[in-house]
Amino acid sequence: MRVVVLVKQVPDISSDRSLEVDGRLRRTPSEAVLNELDEGGLETALRSADALGAELVAITMGPAQASAAARKALQVGAALGIHVCDDALAGSDVVGTARVLAAAIRLLEQEDPADPVALVVAGMSALDGLGSVVPALVAAELGWPIVSYSAKVSIDAGDGSLASDAGGHVTITRATDHGTEELRTSLPAVVSVTDTIAALRVPSFATMLAARKATLRTLTVADLGLTTDEVGLAGARATIADARPRPPRPPVQVVTDTGSAGSELVDFLVARGLVEVSA
């Protein structure tokens, strides 16, 4: 049995991020980091793999330098890293991205039908686009249930079978607009997790050593059985029509409180029409 974790390399949010003229994200290798929200996903995936007695496979998609995200997963104990890398992927929208990731998961199952994927774990969002929809789209591609924004995940391996009442299940808790809810589904399923779920473990000497020996498997669009018009800009339903930086904010007005800053704040709010004080 296998557990898959989806990871992504994104520009550091404290760096000076920008878009290219065609609206695509500028990906400067020196400012690329593992999406912070994937750390909780990776930790959850490691624990889930333990609970299921499964191996962890990390899958990432992106340009050449993006393999670092999968390598990070190897360093904390993933057994295999897969990097889907192909020039034809540039300009992919969320639907195309999910198609590629789902195809990679299906390929794993086709190559070794005796070793099915029981669970896919992802961070709730990537800090570049913040769309949050890729996990649900991957689930839809695979025809599996989705539980997103999980703040707590527990795995019950059951009798070890899949897609059955007696088999493996995942139970999650998440916040809703009005409160919280607890959901349960049979495996295989896709789970996305919030950043508060768990801190990523520190790599051990053994896993670091294993990661150094491990090879990352690189796959192309053709390897996944997809055609280049299904992915990237060619296959995108949504494209960027225009992108421009917003004008910089006017210089900040700074007041040091000497006992009347509260009143000065009210003066500012009144001048901007942000508070009604007159009858």
At position 161, the amino acid (one-letter code) is: S
- Does residue number 21 form part of the binding site for another protein (CB under 8 A)? no
In the three-class reduction of DSSP (H, G, I as helix; E, B as strand; rest coil), residue 146 is classed as strand
Shorter beta-carbon distance to another protein: residue 114 or 254: 254
List C-alpha distances in Å: 229 to 97, 103, 110, 218, 237.
13, 15, 23, 20, 11
Which amino acid is residue 279, in one-letter code?
Answer: A
Which residue from 154, 161, 185, 228 is in contact with another protein, where contact means CB under 8 A?
A: 185
Among 179, 205, 213, 215, binds another protein (CB under 8 A): 179
What whole-number distance in Å separates Cα of residue 73 and Cα of residue 121? 13
Which residue in 3, 149, 155, 168 binds another protein (CB under 8 A)? 149
- Token code pair at residue 163: 């897609």
Backbone angles phi, psi at 83, to 5 degrees: -120, 110
Contact set for another protein, span 43-102 (CB under 8 A) = 93-95, 98
Q: Does residue 239 belong to the site contacting another protein (CB under 8 A)? A: yes
Residue 111 or residue 182: which is nearer to another protein going by CB?
A: 182
Query: x/- binding map, residues 103-122, to another protein, per CB under 8 A?
Result: --------------------
Binds another protein (CB under 8 A): choice among 20, 112, 184, 204: 184
Work out whether the CA dihedral 72, 3, 155, 190 comes out positive or negative: positive
Element (H, E) at 172: strand 169-175
Q: Is residue 18 involved in binding another protein (CB under 8 A)? A: yes
Choose the stretch contacting another protein; rule: CB under 8 A; options: 54-62, 74-82, 201-209, 259-267: 259-267
Residue 131 per-residue DSSP state: -
CB 156 within 8 A of CB 131: no
215 is a contact residue toward another protein (CB under 8 A): no
30 or 256: whose CB is closer to another protein?
A: 256
Of 28, 154, 171, 218, the one binding another protein (CB under 8 A) is 171
Mark the segment that binds another protein (CB under 8 A) among 53-61, 64-72, 204-212, 262-270. 262-270
Of positions 90, 133, 208, 233, contacts another protein by CB under 8 A: 133
How many other CB atoms sit within 10 Å of the CB of residue 205? 7
Residues 80 and 59 sit within 8 Å (Cβ to Cβ): no
Least distance in angstroms from the C-beta of 64 to another protein: 23
